[in-house]
Amino acid sequence: MNAKAEADGPMTRDSWAMVTGSTSGIGRETALLLAEDGYQILVCGRDRDRAAETRKMIVSAGGHAVDLVADLTDIAAVRRLIDETRQVLDGDPLDVLINNAGGGVFAPTEATTENMFDDAFNLNVKAPYMLAGEFAPLMAERGRGAIVNVGSLGTRMAASGASAFQAAKAGLSMLTKSWTAEYGPRGVRVNSVDPGYILTRVNEDIRDMFGNYLASLPAGRGGTPQEVAEVIRFLVSPQASYVQGAVLTVDGGKNAVVVM
């Protein structure tokens, strides 16, 4: 899929933030909050109509956004996305990178094909790796920048039938630590957010399947995309200036308790 950019709103030389997977859910809420904070937003997703919708929501609130359409399971599309981003920035710096796009394989190991496995790792590990490889060194040259990787509670607590997805998210979690060692000393803050059960559009459709799980949470409910986005917003903000290499779990307390 070719990356394609469309823009609205007044162009300024304010800070830029890229949010992958910002066509819905956590990514969209993050894009809206960062736009509120004055960032120009690079909206990125594989659905052209939803990407345009996010852009229009930002613009209608007085912000500026560009939508970039790319399927991050396709490495050629990731390369095109990087080229498109360079063109849009036109010499301006990228100050914030939110590696939010995720998902992948939910199948038993024996039923996971090589293509399914590759898609999980391309989306959750290789695409973030390539984006960081392009833009983190430029952040480091300026001595500032923030990267937030959106992982999963599945990096700490395993579930049957999700081995490829969980392994990929674990890889992304390790990249947070590696990039902290590599770029932290040069002013780039890298952190992770690990959501638990969040009421995204997909999860809303199957909420009835998780009744017992939700009842076991100290919070007693699923989280909202905005609750995760607020944590990402904090990690990007000056208030988190001394937070580096952290993994903040947003899961209603699931990781802290054992159901007896």
Distance CA 9, CA 48 (A): 18
Number of structural domains found in the chain: 1
50-65 burial, b at 16+ Cβ within 10 Å, e below that, comes to bbbbbbebbbeeebbb
Q: Are 7 and 66 in contact (CB under 8 A)?
A: yes
Domain harbouring 205, CATH code: 3.40.50.720
What's the average model confidence in pLDDT over 90-118? 93
pLDDT bin (cut points 50, 70, 90) of residue 4 is: very low
Structural domain includes residue 236: yes
Q: Residue 53 belongs to what domain range? A: 5-251
Structural domain includes residue 115: yes
Nearest to 156 by CA among 117, 122, 196: 196
Alpha-helical (H) ranges within the chain are 25-36, 48-60, 75-89, 114-121, 127-142, 163-183, 201-205, 211-216, 225-236
pLDDT of residue 258: 77
Structural domain includes residue 259: no
pLDDT digits (tens, 9 = 90+) for 176-190: 999 999 999 999 999
pLDDT digits (tens, 9 = 90+) for 21-32: 999 999 999 999
pLDDT of residue 159: 84
Q: Are 130 and 85 in contact (CB under 8 A)?
A: no
What's the average model confidence in pLDDT over 138-151? 97
% of the chain exceeding 90 in pLDDT: 77
Structural domain includes residue 257: no
Residue 35 has phi, psi (to 5 degrees) of -65, -40
- Best-predicted range by mean pLDDT among 37-41, 103-107, 208-212? 37-41
